[in-house]
A and B are shown apart, each in its own frame.
Chain A
Amino acid sequence: MSDKNTNDLLVSMRGMTKAFPGVQALENVDFDLRYGEIHALMGGNGAGKSTLIKILTGVERPDSGQITLAGQEVHVRSPQYAQSLGISTVYQEINLCPNLTVAENILIGREPMKFGRIDWKTLNAQAKEILLRVLEMDIEVTRTLGSYSVAIQQMVAIARALEIESAKVLILDEPTSSLSIHETEQLFTVMRRLKGKGMGIIFITHFIGQVYQISDRITVIRNGKLVGTYETASLPRMELITKMIGRSIAVLDEMSKTKVETSKHISKEKVLEAKEFGQTGEVEPFDLDLHAGEVLGLAGLMGSGRTEMVSLLFGLQTPDSGTLTIAGKKVEKFSPYNSIMHGLVLSPEDRKAAGIVDELTVRENIILALQAGLGWFKHLSTQKQYEIAEKYIQMLDIATPSADQPVKNLSGGNQQKVILARWLATNPQILILDEPTRGIDVGTKAEIQKLVLSLAEEGKACIFISSELEEVMRSSHRIAVLSDRRMVAEFGSEVDEQVIMQAMAGES
């Protein structure tokens, strides 16, 4: 754009603040978008990225703050209003209709009419013209959308977003998470073309590599606060990750001492051994050993393959390569039930969807896995159930009025403890904890980390996953690093944070 100074601001958000019950989602965050710029918005889970986007697109209203669009102050009242202002969004899940044709999808709600009926000829011609003009893409618009690849569908979504109004701002929320490398390239070509036309693009992704490939500037948000906005070219990857994860010069607390203490208890006996274990498309083949009494930390960014790796170990999927040996026995059948029978349990990342059974009581949630292992007919008596539940409520200090409370009434931290109790009741030898500390207050976080160490002391093996590197380092005897679905490095506990971050960034 020659007629506009590229440093002119297209969007300017000043002092955005938003609180949800119990959470300060955003605190005084500033964000700028220039004309003809691709601006990456980075931050961990719950950092506040999506809240910021929701405010810009009118889904949420800020508690305070000011938004200017092309020099004029605006109050984005609703998503419809945002669209009329020229702010278009393409969400992660494509919300188009796969059973309609491409043309129908693009022009839905604005079909050209003739004699009170839809003029199909014009409709198809218009759609074709739009795709050619906006994206320089020539495809058969009368085929159903579902018959095209995800990348093409994503493009159609973009074409639709751009056509609704004269779009000035395009927001892409994780557009590449389901795309192949080639498809991503296609998308990037389109993005560069739009950028050349002076459009401002906000790009959200957790693929660090792509950020460096395409973006001009990067804004990092952490815990609802602005960390800073940087020119991509002048921000090394390492530094970006440091800013995203956050680093506090934490005092080496008693936990480190406990860790050193417990490391003496690690036996030579291997309780788990994975060889060339992997599944195509999920996680590349890896070797992994785990010893009794050991805590293994898994470090890696979102989407690096941590969750996929432990899901595979737990038997949620069937691997297509390699072998897994638990306590000297080779695993033949892969399912959660078989894993539990082998003494391997997984506390899943998504506590709500895969962890708690919210309508059931605390007692029922705690005995669920134990009862599942016993089968249908060896029924634990109600009295026995209460005994077990009370034992773990005390041991883990679960804050609940009674064992008969539905677990949905408990706080996140206590729900997490209930899930831990569920697994401990089965007396497992290997515990995999995927993000056990997510969304939990600081006190409970520390409690859970201490618990992990004390379990190790009892001779159990643990795999501990957390997005917060500090936590992983504090509670693990050994750390394995994943990047781009590959296990890239393994370190002892006395490793420097910098080294781990380098490995996480894939820069080793």
Chain B
Amino acid sequence: MTRSKFSGIWKKIIQSKLFFPLLALGIILLFDLITVPGFFSFQVRNGNLYGSLIDIFRNASTVMLLAIGMTLVIATGGIDLSVGSIMAIAASVAALLMNPYVLGTDLSANTLKLMTDPHFTYQPLWVVILVTLIVAIICGLWNGLLVAYIRIQPMVATLILMIAGRGIAQLITNGVRIQIFYEPYAFIGQGWIILPFSLYLVAFMYVIAWLLTRRTAIGLFIESVGINFRSSFFSGIHEKKVKLLAYAFCGFCAGLAGLVASSNIKTSDAFNLGRDIELDAILAVVIGGTLMSGGRFSLLASLIGAVVIQAITTSMYAFGVPAFALQAIKSVVVIAVILLYSEQAQVLVRKFSAQKEAQP
């Protein structure tokens, strides 16, 4: 009796979308536990928690934010390559709003004040954040428009903004890298309230996205459109609007990630900010078990996927792998993930669990 109960639970665990990402994370952390001394130690300073594990989560926060939006886009059967560029645009917009003097010739009193007074900003923080996020949503809407209404292939459609976005970000700041001295802004990426503040942002966005998809019909529609857009259209689903929403939301997430990232490095680096990060975001979603062809998705699994990627990076650094070799290591992980999710591997897993059940 208990055995059949156990095998039932075992089956449920195996079939859960969270199983493989958690397994991967477990393996990496186990590896750290054995090889890196002090990896799991925590320090408490000023009532805040610090440690390698916290660092992994904090460094993963931008990719986690992106992965939330990317999950919805990929679930509709699309892809968004422009999230890194949207981050750069967001950073430029935010920096410009706080410090627009780089554009003008007025280099006198204000500049000095800006350099010396960490509480000086041209626009208040809430305007900075609001305008930045609106710009990011517009970027997402642009992608959605191209994909849903003009029917350009998602890969090509978002490639446009991926390439043009860097240029736009540089145009906004007139090609200047704007230093951010404003202290409250730095809190977004570097602040701590027991845990890093950016993690609260991730949690907030996760809850928003979860409510949006699972407490309304939008999640079902996204999955339905991703699996079979023709059937969905026949059933009266506005498939274009569904896609538009997914891309706009993805843009919003990218904007938020841009705020976090620029706050972290205290500058708007239009050229390097968020470079190649779209690949990490996509990889996170893939590790989370959402098919690139669209359909069923799990936001939580994508978040774990993002942590897995960061855990690999951090562990490799801790282990002493040079930075330039990191990409190669990541590619091994990609291959492993693809193999794990392949049909052959799934058949093996099923056989394995069937055997377990068959055992007396």
Residues of A whose CB lies within 8 Å of any CB of B are 316, 336-337, 339-341, 346, 348, 353-360, 364, 368-369, 371-380, 422
A359 close to B237 (CB less than 8 A): no
Q: How far is the CB of A406 from chain B (nearest CB, A)?
A: 10
Q: Which of A346, A353, A369 contacts B230 (CB 8 A)?
A: A353
Q: Determine if B217 and A376 form an interchain contact, defined as CB atoms under 8 angstroms apart.
A: yes
A422 to B217, CA, bound (A): 16
Residues of B within 8 A of A359 (CB): 223, 227, 295-296
Q: Do A377 and B216 have beta carbons less than 8 Å apart? A: yes
Is A353 touching B220 in the complex (CB atoms < 8 A)? no
Q: Are A374 and B217 in contact (CB under 8 A)?
A: yes
A356 to B217, CA, bound (A): 18
Q: Give chain B residues whose Cβ lies under 8 Å from the Cβ of A371.
A: 217, 220-221
A-B contact pairs, 14 of them (CB 8 A): A316-B234, A337-B236, A337-B238, A346-B234, A353-B231, A354-B234, A355-B231, A356-B231, A359-B296, A360-B224, A368-B235, A377-B217, A379-B216, A379-B217
Say yes or no: B236 contacts A372, CB within 8 Å: yes
Which chain A residues lie closer than 8 Å to B217 at the CB level?
371-372, 374-380
Given known contacts A357-B227, A360-B224, A360-B227, A376 and B236 CB-to-CB distance under 8 angstroms: no
Binary CB contact string for chain B from 219 to 259 against chain A (1 if under 8 A, 0 otherwise)? 01101100110111111111000000000000000000000
Which residues from A are CB-within-8-Å of B220?
A: 360, 364, 368, 371
Q: Do residues A379 and B215 form an inter-chain contact, with CB atoms below 8 A?
A: yes
Contacts of B223 in A (CB 8 A): 359-360
Beyond A357-B224, A372-B221, A422-B235, list 9 extra A-B contacts (CB 8 Å).
A336-B233, A337-B238, A339-B236, A353-B228, A353-B230, A356-B228, A359-B227, A374-B217, A377-B217
When A and B form their complex, which 5 residue pairs have the shortest distance between CB atoms, in order from nearest?
A: A372-B236, A337-B236, A369-B235, A340-B236, A372-B237
Q: Shortest beta-carbon distance, A405 to chain B, in Å?
A: 13
Residues of A within 8 A of B230 (CB): 353-354
B234 CB contact (under 8 Å) in A348, A373, A377: A348
* Residues in A whose Cβ lies below 8 Å from that of B218: 376
Q: How far is the CA of A175 from the CA of B211 in the complex (A)?
A: 52
Contact check, B236 vs A336: say whether CB atoms are below 8 A apart. Answer: yes
A377–B221 alpha-carbon span in the complex (Å): 11
CB contact under 8 A between A376 and B216, given known A357-B232, A368-B224:
yes
A residues in contact with B228, CB < 8 Å: 353-354, 356-358
A372 touches B216 (CB 8 A): no
Q: Are A369 and B236 in contact (CB under 8 A)?
A: yes
Q: Which residues of B contact A373 (CB under 8 A)?
A: 236
Among B216, B230, B233, B234, chain A packs the most CB atoms within 10 A around the CB of B234
A358 to B224, CA, bound (A): 9
Q: Bits for B195-229, please: 1 = Cβ < 8 Å to A, else 0.
A: 00000000000000000000111101101100110
Q: Min CB distance, A422 to chain B, in Å? A: 7
A351 nearest in chain B by CB position: B231
CA distance A377 to B230 in the complex (A): 22
Residues of B within 8 A of A339 (CB): 236
Chain A, residue nearest B237 (CB): A372
Within the complex, the shortest CB–CB distance from B239 to chain A, in Å, comes to: 10
Q: How many A-B residue pairs have CB under 8 A?
A: 74
Q: Give B82 Cβ to nearest chain A Cβ, in Å.
A: 25
Bound state CA distance, A194 and B193, in angstroms? 84
Give Cα A369–Cα B232 distance, bound, in whole angstroms. Answer: 8
Task: Kindly report which residue of chain A lies nearest to residue B233, judged by CB atoms.
Answer: A336
Give chain A residues whose Cβ lies under 8 Å from the Cβ of B224: 357, 360, 364, 368
Roughly how many angstroms separate A348 CA and B234 CA in the complex, as a whole number? 8
Contacts of A369 in B (CB 8 A): 235-236
In the complex, the answer to whether A357 meets B231 with C-beta atoms within 8 Å is: yes
**Most chain B beta-carbon contacts within 10 A, residue among A374, A376, A378:** A376
A363: shortest Cβ distance to chain B, in Å?
10
Closest beta carbon of chain B to A355's beta carbon, Å: 6
Q: Is the CB of A372 within 8 A of B235?
A: yes
What is the distance, in angstroms, from A20's C-beta to the closest C-beta of chain B? 22
Please measure, in the bound complex, the distance between the C-alpha atom of A357 and the C-alpha atom of B229, giving whole angstroms: 9
Instruction: Check if B235 sits within 8 Å of A336, measured CB to CB.
Output: yes
Determine whether the beta carbon of B231 is less than 8 Å from that of A354: yes
For the complex, give the distance between the alpha carbons of A359 and B217 in Å.
17
Taken residue by residue from 293 to 309, chain B's Cβ proximity to chain A (1 for < 8 Å, 0 otherwise) reads as: 00110000000000000
Q: Which residue, B216, B224, B231, B232, has most C-beta atoms of chain A within 10 A?
A: B231
A375 to B215, CA, bound (A): 13
In the bound complex, do residue B227 and residue A336 qualify as a contact, i.e. CB atoms below 8 Å apart? no
Query: How close is B74's CB to chain A, nearest CB, in angstroms?
Result: 14
Chain A nearest Cβ from B11, distance in angstroms: 14
For the complex formed, measure the closest distance between the CB of B286 and the CB atoms of chain A, giving whole angstroms. 17
Give the complex CA separation of A355 and B234 in angstroms: 7
Q: Which residues of B contact A422 (CB under 8 A)?
A: 235
Residues of A within 8 A of B233 (CB): 336
Residues in chain A near residue B236, CB distance under 8 A: 336-337, 339-341, 369, 372-373
Docked Cα-Cα span, A336 to B237, in Å, equals 8
Q: How far is the CB of A151 from chain B (nearest CB, A)?
A: 28
**Distance (whole angstroms) from the CB of A77 to the closest CB of chain B:** 28
User: Chain B's nearest CB lies how many Å from the CB of A176?
Assistant: 26
Which residues of A sit under 8 angstroms from B215, Cβ to Cβ?
A: 379
> Chain B residues near A375 (CB, 8 Å)?
217
Smallest CB–CB gap between A458 and chain B, Å? 22
Of the listed residues A346, A353, A354, the one surrounded by the most CB atoms of chain B closer than 10 A to its CB is: A354
Q: Cα distance A327–B234 when bound, in Å?
A: 21
CB pair B296–A336 under 8 Å, yes or no, is no
Identify the closest chain B residue to A378 (Cβ).
B217
Q: How far is the CB of A136 from chain B (nearest CB, A)?
A: 41
Residues of B contacting A380 in the complex (Cβ-Cβ under 8 angstroms): 217
* Chain A contacts for B237, CB-based, 8 A: 337, 368, 372
Interface residues of B in 28-69 (CB under 8 A from A): none
The distance in angstroms between the C-alpha atoms of A369 and B237, with both chains bound, is 7
Q: How many angstroms between the C-alpha atoms of A144 and B353 in the bound complex? A: 56
Chain B residues within 8 Å of A354, by CB? 228, 230-231, 234
Residues of A within 8 A of B238 (CB): 337, 372
Task: Kindly state the separation between the CA atoms of A341 and B232 in the bound complex, as whole angstroms.
Answer: 15
CA distance A175 to B234 in the complex (A): 30
Tell me whether A358 and B234 are in contact in the complex, defined as CB-CB below 8 angstroms, given that A368-B220, A372-B221, A376-B216 are known contacts.
no
Bound together, the chains give a CA A368 to CA B232 distance in angstroms of 8
In the bound complex, residues from chain B placing their C-beta under 8 Å from that of A378 are 217
Instruction: For the complex formed, measure the closest distance between the CB of A351 and the CB atoms of chain B, giving whole angstroms.
Output: 9
Compute how far the CA of A354 lies from the CA of B234 in the bound complex, rounded to whole angstroms: 7
Residues of chain A within 8 A (CB-CB) of B295 are 359
Please give the distance in Å from B298's CB to the nearest CB on chain A: 14
Quick check: B221 and A376 within 8 Å, CB to CB?
yes
Residue of A337, A364, A372 with most chain B CB atoms under a 10 A cut-off: A372
Give the distance in Å from the alpha carbon of A431 to the alpha carbon of B350 in the complex.
42
A367: min CB distance to chain B, Å: 8
Of B220, B221, B236, B295, chain A has the most CB atoms within 10 Å of the CB of: B236
